[in-house]
Amino acid sequence: MSILRKIGAQLSPNGLCTFTVWAPELEKVALKLTHPVAKTVAMQKTDFGYWSVMQENITPGTRYFFELNGQEVRPDPASHFQPEGVHESSAVVDHNYFAWTDKNWRGLELEDYIIYELHTGTFTPEHTFEGIISKLDYLLELGITAIEIMPVAQFPGERNWGYDGVYPFAVQNSYGGPDGLKKMVNACHEKGIAVVLDVVYNHLGPEGNYLRDFGPYFTEKYKTPWGSALNFDDAHADGVRNFFIQNALMWFRDFHVDALRLDAVHAIMDFSARHFLEELADETKKLSAETGREFLLIAESDLNDVRLINPQEKGGYGLHAQWNDEFHHALHTVLTKENAGYYADFGSLKDLEKAFKHTFVFNGNYAPHRRKSYGNNADENPGKQFVVCLQNHDQVGNRMRGDRLTEPLSFRALKLAAATYILSPYLPMLFMGEEYGEKNPFQYFISHTDKNLVEAVQKGRKEEFKGFQWAGQVPDPQSEETFRNSSLTWQYQEGEGKELWNFYRHLISLRKSHEIFRNPDKTQLQVSADETKNLLTVERWNKDLGVKCFYNFSKEPIEIALEKNAGWKLLLNSAYPEIPENALPAKLKLDPESVIIIEQKPIS
């Protein structure tokens, strides 16, 4: 077991503050207070490489640095606030005073999560947490039960996806800082909306990253797409593991966040006997027991490995859920016919059939694009452990032009696609704006101040898309125009935007109210793909009810004969919003790119 210890500035209500930093190989560390009082105080080295000092009469907002070996002056790696950005002083934060009103909030059951992923900077014209608060009633009316916020850890400048954060404990100053985030979470809970926060434990950004000055946070044993790996299993790894575990506990304890989305856990390199994720799950479980609220861990993973979410008694890590990109890939390629890059392994309606039945398309079989057998079996894992989507920040933003599916798909196909994943036996996640057919792209943007770094990012983005046959130019990630172009227009009040929004709201309502769709159960499920007709049929049932979903992915109408005297009732026809009250005909006519759902109660 790693040695767990609180780090950063821990302020008590009486003004007593303990400053602690991990720097195992330094000879001397001092606390350098700069405002409102300027003084330098030597810190004492304790066990396992921690340095600590206690100071009286510290007020919230007190600015400080750490002085290393009497030379470099650096912000606190575990700073809770960087008011003036990544290169300037850290500020003490008082987590005791905020007037929380969510004491009766106990969170949601995992199966009740209907997630809406958003980016704080582009979601509203305010580009802040206050802006998100102003849209909570909109999300509530849509039927959303949880929002997932892209990373808010302090990054350089004011424009970034969040994956270049360099202070994992500090809430981005331009978004509203720690108080702004608390106010937003509190407002969400007042509305009955859970909050999922995206956190990055596999790398840190380059600009403002001073961790190497403090200690061996990185190891050269492994390489990641972002350079040297974080040190989760080499010498001094306990200090690094503690750093990120304390970070996770802080979001749950001090910010009342309900769940963490763990970015790209396949890039967390750890061959310890007890994986970092297993330790994180244990500490999260302990905090849940202490507070009476269950906190959730949801992994993004490219491994197709249920070990992440299996209980520890079955050899798993004990996380609660994971993203399933392969459902997205199967659906996306059937809709768009794209076959470049990783899409080369998908494109058949049989892939979507398998994603419905078995979750992973590659569950031990050979993946041509990867040139190896891939994945394992997820049949025993319930559907609530997998998050699926039609679009997300990666699948939109990592396209060369950040174009959404409103560009290649017809209006009919957008509705068909939405019904396919929202009514699947998995947890659905919308990407901001898709519910009304947002046409603005979501492009990759940064606001670095290092000229050489900016040029490297610009060059890297161009190199990234060589494997795809996409036309056009790569948007300049440093340009403010790229950021502005990625902001939502909120044009959903009329025309097709209004119709699509109402359709999404109806789908979500059906998902929440219908006894079949609200239960993410894969066991009572049959799926068949007719590739000659481009028709996917999904049947689901329980002891009281059965439903059939007919998804027509072709551009031609299809007729389906129903059993005589079966007593079918029409639940949904995406081509015609109004549901007729009369009995269904003997033959159903599916319009091109449409879905029809019917239900039947057993004959007693």
CATH number, position 212:
3.20.20.80
DSSP 3-state assignment of 227? strand
Is residue 391 within 8 A of residue 405, CB to CB? The reply is yes
Whether 101 maps to a domain, the answer reads: no
- In this predicted structure, the answer to whether residue 446 has a pLDDT above a threshold of 80 is yes
**DSSP bridge partners of 53:** 19
Radius of gyration of the chain (CA): 25
Distances (CA, A) of 228 to 199, 269, 274: 19, 10, 21
Q: Are residues 506 and 533 in the same domain?
A: no
pLDDT tens figures, 139-159? 999 999 999 999 999 999 999
Q: Are residues 184 and 219 in the same domain?
A: yes
| CATH number, domain with residue 61 | 2.60.40.10
Rounded to whole angstroms, the Cα distance separating 28 from 26 reads: 6
- In this predicted structure, the answer to whether residue 167 has a pLDDT above a threshold of 60 is yes
- Give how far the C-alpha of residue 385 lies from the chain's centroid of Cα atoms, to the nearest Å: 14
- Give how far the C-alpha of residue 506 lies from the chain's centroid of Cα atoms, to the nearest Å: 24
Q: Are residues 394 and 475 in the same domain?
A: yes
pLDDT tens figures, 266-281? 999 999 999 999 999 9
Mean of the pLDDT values across residues 464-479? Answer: 78
Residues annotated as catalytic (active site), given as ranges: 263, 300
Q: Are residues 201 and 242 in the same domain?
A: yes
Rounded to whole angstroms, the Cα distance separating 394 from 283 reads: 29
Distances (CA, A) of 45 to 9, 26, 159, 179, 462: 16, 10, 38, 32, 47
Q: Are residues 339 and 369 in the same domain?
A: yes
Q: Which domain-ending residue is among 480, 512, 544? A: 512
What is the structure's pLDDT at 601?
76
Alpha-helix runs per DSSP H in 74-229: 120-123, 129-134, 136-142, 177-190, 211-214
pLDDT tens figures, 333-367? 999 999 988 999 999 999 999 999 999 999 999 99
- In this predicted structure, the answer to whether residue 460 has a pLDDT above a threshold of 90 is no
Whether 338 maps to a domain, the answer reads: yes
What is the structure's pLDDT at 562?
87
Percentage of the chain modeled with pLDDT above 90: 90
Rounded to whole angstroms, the Cα distance separating 187 from 181 reads: 10
> How many Cα neighbours within 13 Å face the side chain of 323?
28
Is residue 330 within 8 A of residue 317, CB to CB? The reply is no
- In this predicted structure, the answer to whether residue 107 has a pLDDT above a threshold of 60 is yes
The lowest-confidence range among 131-140, 219-228, 410-419 is 219-228
What is the structure's pLDDT at 176?
98
Please indicate whether residue 398 or residue 374 has the higher confidence score (pLDDT): 374
| Residue tagged 């799950």 (tokens) | 281
If you count them, how many residues does the chain have? 604
Whether 102 maps to a domain, the answer reads: no
pLDDT band at 602 (very low <50, low <70, confident <90, very high): low
Q: Are residues 79 and 116 in the same domain?
A: no
- In this predicted structure, the answer to whether residue 1 has a pLDDT above a threshold of 60 is no
Whether 353 maps to a domain, the answer reads: yes
What is the structure's pLDDT at 353?
98
Q: Are residues 495 and 560 in the same domain?
A: no
Structure-block tokens of residue 543: 């002891």
Mean of the pLDDT values across residues 402-421? Answer: 97
Whether 322 maps to a domain, the answer reads: yes
What is the structure's pLDDT at 582?
58
Phi, psi of 306 (to 5 degrees): -75, -5
What is the structure's pLDDT at 473?
82
Q: Are residues 486 and 355 in the same domain?
A: yes
The DSSP letter of residue 422 is H
Mean of the pLDDT values across residues 104-132? Answer: 97
> How many Cα neighbours within 13 Å face the side chain of 240?
27
Rounded to whole angstroms, the Cα distance separating 141 from 136 reads: 9
pLDDT band at 469 (very low <50, low <70, confident <90, very high): low
| Residue tagged 């679009």 (tokens) | 391
Query: Domain tally for the chain?
Result: 3
**DSSP bridge partners of 230:** 218
Rounded to whole angstroms, the Cα distance separating 305 from 288 reads: 25
Percentage of the chain modeled with pLDDT above 70: 97
- Give how far the C-alpha of residue 192 lies from the chain's centroid of Cα atoms, to the nearest Å: 19
Mean of the pLDDT values across residues 60-88? Answer: 98
The lowest-confidence range among 1-5, 167-171, 524-528 is 1-5
pTM for the whole structure: 0.97
Is residue 432 within 8 A of residue 488, CB to CB? The reply is yes
Give the structural domain span for 373.
Answer: 112-512
Phi, psi of 211 (to 5 degrees): -60, -35
- Give how far the C-alpha of residue 103 lies from the chain's centroid of Cα atoms, to the nearest Å: 25
Q: Which domain-ending residue is among 490, 512, 534? A: 512
- In this predicted structure, the answer to whether residue 286 has a pLDDT above a threshold of 90 is yes
What is the structure's pLDDT at 585?
78
What is the structure's pLDDT at 470?
66
What is the structure's pLDDT at 68?
98
Is residue 148 within 8 A of residue 260, CB to CB? The reply is no
SS3 per residue for 435-451: HHCCCCCCCCCCCCCCH
Phi, psi of 552 (to 5 degrees): -95, 105
Say how many C-beta atoms besides its own lie within 10 A of residue 321's C-beta: 24
Whether 100 maps to a domain, the answer reads: no
Residue 554 contacts by C-beta under 8 Å, 6 or more apart in sequence?
A: 533, 534, 535, 592, 593
Mean of the pLDDT values across residues 157-170? Answer: 97
Whether 327 maps to a domain, the answer reads: yes
Mean of the pLDDT values across residues 397-416? Answer: 95
What is the structure's pLDDT at 319?
98
Average per-residue pLDDT for the chain = 95
Closest CA to 194 of 114, 135, 128: 114
Q: Are residues 199 and 76 in the same domain?
A: no
Say how many C-beta atoms besides its own lie within 10 A of residue 258's C-beta: 25
Q: Which domain-ending residue is among 459, 481, 512? A: 512
Distances (CA, A) of 416 to 94, 372, 526, 555, 597: 49, 33, 19, 12, 11
Q: Are residues 434 and 350 in the same domain?
A: yes
Distances (CA, A) of 269 to 48, 204, 296, 307, 562: 22, 14, 22, 15, 53
The lowest-confidence range among 95-99, 571-575, 583-587 is 583-587
Closest CA to 78 of 203, 198, 169, 164: 169
pLDDT tens figures, 215-269? 999 999 999 999 999 999 999 999 999 999 999 999 999 999 999 999 999 999 9
Rounded to whole angstroms, the Cα distance separating 148 from 298 reads: 11
Q: Are residues 155 and 26 in the same domain?
A: no
What is the structure's pLDDT at 468?
62
Structure-block tokens of residue 490: 């909120």
Residue 329 contacts by C-beta under 8 Å, 6 or more apart in sequence?
A: 342, 343, 345, 346, 351, 361
What is the structure's pLDDT at 584?
80
> Taking each helix axis from N to C terminus, what angle separates 237-255 and 177-190, rounded to the nearest 10 degrees?
50
Whether 518 maps to a domain, the answer reads: no
Rounded to whole angstroms, the Cα distance separating 204 from 210 reads: 10
| CATH number, domain with residue 578 | 2.60.40.1180
- In this predicted structure, the answer to whether residue 580 has a pLDDT above a threshold of 70 is no
Q: Are residues 312 and 427 in the same domain?
A: yes
- Give how far the C-alpha of residue 165 lies from the chain's centroid of Cα atoms, to the nearest Å: 15
Rounded to whole angstroms, the Cα distance separating 64 from 36 reads: 10
